[in-house]
Structure 1
Amino acid sequence: MLRRGQVEHVRAERNLLAEVDNNCIVKLYCSFQDNEYLYLIMEYQPGGDMMTLLMRKDTLTDEEAKFYVAETVLAIESIHKHNYVHRDIKPDNLLLDRYGHLRLSDFGLCKPLDCSTLEEKDFTNVDNASNSTGEGNSSAPKRTQQEQLQHWQKNRRTLVSSHSYYYCLLCIISGR
């Protein structure tokens, strides 16, 4: 970890696993180290991963797809509630327990999100804000969808780094 500069990644993973206790993510039972290695003792998931399931089944039924998408959303939400962003969502990191329920794993690229830097104005749709107050003729100029997108793209890196702006998109979609 030291040679590869992975200390922060491992620390973020251990911190998230120690902090978040939710049935949608794998459980960390304990962690320790010796002179050479760091050990994270985690819950065993005998169902394999989503990638293996997709390769084996080739195509999921509509009901199965809805089930796994819903469980993925719940897993992502469980870490977002603790202000972490996963940044590596892929079928290999979606594990299945013995009953076929999904557990999110591999938090090596996760980042804590500093919500104190987020401001309501970053997420408010100008059109909706002026209409909700009953003042149709607000002094603030109204932005087109293209202008709103450009504003978002310009400012998203100030909110969080890398791909974690998807968290902010999820907040907008869910109305948080």
Structure 2
Amino acid sequence: MIHVGKIVAAHGIRGEVKVVPYTDNPRRFRKGGKVFVDKINDYLTIASCRLQGDHVFLIRFAAVEDRNRAEELKGSMLSIPKEEAAPLPEGQYYFFQLEGLDVVDEAGTSLGIVSDLVEGGANDIYRIDRGNGDYTLLPALKHIITKIDLENKVMVVRLIPGLLEACTYHEN
């Protein structure tokens, strides 16, 4: 499943919820669409959706008719099956495609496994788990990430001098 949004609050008295989207595709929340709601472990059908401000959707689900029911959904993650993800242009990837890839340098030395994505200001950052509690935060830049091979589950990175030392941490 791919997370496409999070319910952050109830809105009004008719069962609407405020959703912070995790997708750039606003059509994901179209009327009649279905999303999986983790708190109830079931799919809900979208009855209506409208934008509030720049980054919040007000969504009413067909099965949610009042504020009390909407309040129960607060904190829920909204997800879709991976198969329903919109196709991306060549060279762009969903995180679920990258998670678990073996990260190697250009010489083929294993650096660890892609475990998380941190959305940064200027660019995203991949967390690479290196074992023994060590992890490296690598910027998702084309001159650092030189190749992604989904078939062989490998991400190749170009290590500029000092990058590993500056970006490797130990979890306490």
Q: TM-score, normalised by structure 2?
A: 0.25
TM-score (norm 1): 0.25
**Larger relative helix fraction:** 1
